[in-house]
Chains A and B, each alone.
Chain A
Amino acid sequence: MHFSEDFMSIVEKKFSKFMQASSSGIRKDYYRKLRRREQTEVFVEDLSGDINELLHFDKVFTQDLMQTDNSALLDGLRQLTIRQREIISYLVEYEMTEAEIAARFNITQQGVNSTKNKALKKLKSCIKGGSSQ
């Protein structure tokens, strides 16, 4: 197909502008996404001192953790639904973002966020209840 010189140079200019705008837009979106994540993120460290090392999902349902003396955490994990455990696993162990998990389960990101928050709240209350006993 033959194009005129004018057409080609205009398209090239437009394309360069498009690339610049796209690239800086992607950068802005990336940092916006990071900020949003920081604001909504519940850090595991905030929950309890020892939950961090115990929340390694692979160990949670293996004999390793069954032998742990943190029965409060174990009880908490037992009380979670399968979906909650899966989401916590993907977030903590695989370090997936909420959007990625949402795509995997075919649900909304808000759904993932609320499930995560419910699960963490449940765990937190179990651990607090266990430590106060």
Chain B
Amino acid sequence: MRLFDLIYRASIENDTHALWEILTKYQPLINNNSKKLFSSEIDEDLRSEQMLVLARRIKHFDIYKQW
């Protein structure tokens, strides 16, 4: 499915499944930004914080306002 459809469903229709799919799609980015400062180990606390905050932000993403 196209990314735009997922964004639309997650932000406009509040579709949890689409939200989860977006988070799965961006998993490499999330993992990369969840690495500990001086090692390549993933900080699980930071990772879950990323998932929670990103999920909240995606829900409020305004497709019309952003461009």
* Chain A residues near B (Cβ < 8 Å): 3, 7-12, 14-15, 18-20, 22-24, 26-27, 30-31
Q: Main SS of chain B's interface residues?
A: helix
Q: Give the complex CA separation of A85 and B49 in angstroms.
A: 29
Chain B residues closer than 8 Å to A10, beta-carbon distance? 67
Q: Give the complex CA separation of A7 and B7 in angstroms.
A: 13
Tell whether, in the assembled complex, residue B50 and residue A27 are in contact, meaning their CB atoms are under 8 Å apart. yes
Is B57 part of the contact surface with A, judged by Cβ < 8 Å? yes
Q: Give the complex CA separation of A20 and B46 in angstroms.
A: 15
Q: Give the complex CA separation of A19 and B2 in angstroms.
A: 16
Tell whether, in the assembled complex, residue A26 and residue B33 are in contact, meaning their CB atoms are under 8 Å apart. yes
Chain A residues closer than 8 Å to B61, beta-carbon distance? 15, 18
The contact string, 1 if C-beta is below 8 Å from chain A, for chain B 56-67, is 010001010011
Q: Give how many B residues have a beta carbon under 8 Å from the other chain's beta carbons.
A: 21
Can you give 28 contacting A-B residue pairs, CB < 8 Å?
A7-B67, A8-B2, A9-B4, A11-B4, A11-B67, A12-B4, A14-B67, A15-B3, A15-B61, A15-B66, A18-B57, A19-B29, A19-B54, A20-B29, A22-B57, A23-B26, A23-B29, A23-B30, A23-B50, A23-B54, A24-B33, A26-B33, A26-B46, A26-B54, A27-B33, A27-B50, A30-B45, A31-B37
Chain B residues closer than 8 Å to A30, beta-carbon distance? 45-46, 49
Closest to A24 in B: B33
Q: Give the complex CA separation of A11 and B37 in angstroms.
A: 32
Q: Give the complex CA separation of A30 and B54 in angstroms.
A: 13
A49 shortest CB reach to chain B, Å: 29
